[in-house]
Chains A and B, each alone.
Chain A
């Protein structure tokens, strides 16, 4: 059964129909990517799934439960969270406090241990743990945003443009980390403009065009598709 199922989702900004009825699903253990050009509706989809933008029509089913009308914080309590586009770390809090915010809703005693785990994965964060997050570089902020999301212990992790604005070396690192999170059992829904790299790590992918799903298939299939090659892979 699908962990996340989106059915005929429609979202409006005022009178403008940003999503014109899209459907897709994410199965447990998968990495699924939504690719598409600027303005195709990728971020709108992500924000709607997590309850930050209301859906006008359609259904969002998570873990067998209809979450279409739930507020964001309740959806997060069900076990999904998001690394938003542009990272959105808490600029005025320290690196350590940002990670604590990630664990805000947890009541178990493993929080300290898990923060250690994050530091082991991201050594830069440990070096800067008492630094105010607003003073970190873009790459470090991306690592912090990902670490913070993992502190929520999500079943489903959504990442919106995690490679945006990063150097090629860091982009590779980000994709390696996503793969590693997935291997450890986290299901991943990814939105990316870097179609090549994201399709390479994806089990399945969807192509979003003007608020509609234009194509779907396995990562491999889409990489071979002529349309995708021409429009998104620069070939």
Chain B
């Protein structure tokens, strides 16, 4: 029975990782860059929720404001910091992304200080379901992430913009020859990725309500690991990698002997998968044109 609880917890934290990983993987697939500031969008989402929750007292208003704010922030970062570097060396873009990450963390520290803020968004408590003691927030997280992922998959598969995203990730020149503004597609990608990060921030705070300016670092790195394990650039890969990593994490935590080494175990899995399948579990080998 304990194992089932662990599994549900794993799926729930995995869902959060998956949602963040989607932002990494979509941006990588479409803009061909690693947006290392993505994790910090989670933190910004957290602080936005904190501020608006204190101001209005309505969780719904706080959450919606956080999503909109992160969306605008993500799009602005892309326009101001990354777009001028399109065509520049990947290293320059990577360093810029790391710079943006530090900028966001430092701004948060200047504005809110370095003492952790406790944020209680919802008070769901726990429930006994068939003899299992499960936190309601865990179930809510799991259901919400699954809904978001289904919605995103449907969007990519069945809308014009979704197809344009697949086309852009595959072949920018051919996409432009269809009359599609590739920069517009990249903007939409950042908008979606950043909104998902805000939602992930909400669920992450529900799990660990202590808010600091480095809140996004660990889940950001874990989600990036998940995206690479699943195959960076692949949307189903990010989902699979996220859930996989979440389950491994919770199982590892539940075994006292190895619990302290949980993070190491997760990154070890990354190394092993990269050795066995360098493109990740669902990553495709791309035919490079010479």
Q: A residues near B, CB below 8 A?
A: 47, 50-52, 71-73, 76-77, 81-82, 84, 86, 88-93, 97, 100-102, 104-105, 148-149, 152
Contact = CB atoms under 8 A, between A and B. Distances in A.
Interface of B: 160, 163-164, 166-167, 170-171, 173-182, 289
Nearest to A134: B287
A73 to B, nearest CB: 5
B173 A101 contact: no
A28 B174 CA distance: 25
Which of the listed residues A86, A89, A91, A104 has the most CB atoms from chain B within 10 Å of its own CB? A104
A89 to B, nearest CB: 8
A76 B289 contact: no
A105 B178 CA distance: 7
Given A81-B177, A88-B173, A101-B163, 9 more contacts: A52-B177, A76-B179, A82-B177, A84-B173, A92-B166, A101-B178, A104-B178, A104-B179, A104-B180
Contacts of A81: 177-179
B176 A101 contact: no
Contact of B170 (A50, A90, A100, A148): A90
Given A73-B179, A76-B179, A152-B179, A93 B174 contact: no
Contacts of B173: 47, 52, 72, 84, 88
6 closest Cβ pairs, A-B complex: A105-B179, A76-B179, A72-B176, A88-B174, A104-B178, A73-B181
Contact of A105 (B166, B170, B171, B180): B180
B19 to A, nearest CB: 23
A90 B178 CA distance: 11
A86 B289 contact: yes
A90 B166 contact: yes
Contact of A152 (B163, B164, B170, B178): B178
A152 B180 CA distance: 11
B67 to A, nearest CB: 28
Contact of A100 (B163, B174, B181): B163
Contacts of A86: 289
A36 B129 CA distance: 76
Given A86-B289, A88-B171, A102 B178 contact: yes
Given A88-B171, A101-B163, A101-B167, A52 B176 contact: yes
19 contacts: A50-B177, A52-B176, A71-B181, A73-B176, A73-B180, A76-B176, A76-B177, A82-B177, A84-B173, A90-B167, A90-B174, A91-B170, A92-B166, A101-B164, A102-B178, A104-B164, A105-B179, A105-B180, A152-B179
Given A90-B166, A93-B163, A104-B160, A84 B179 contact: no
A72 B173 CA distance: 8
B182 A73 contact: yes
A69 B45 CA distance: 40
Contacts of A92: 166, 170
Given A84-B173, A86-B289, A104-B160, A93 B178 contact: no
A90 B171 CA distance: 7
Nearest to A89: B174
Nearest to B173: A52
A34 B160 CA distance: 35
Which of the listed residues A82, A88, A90, A105 has the most CB atoms from chain B within 10 Å of its own CB? A90
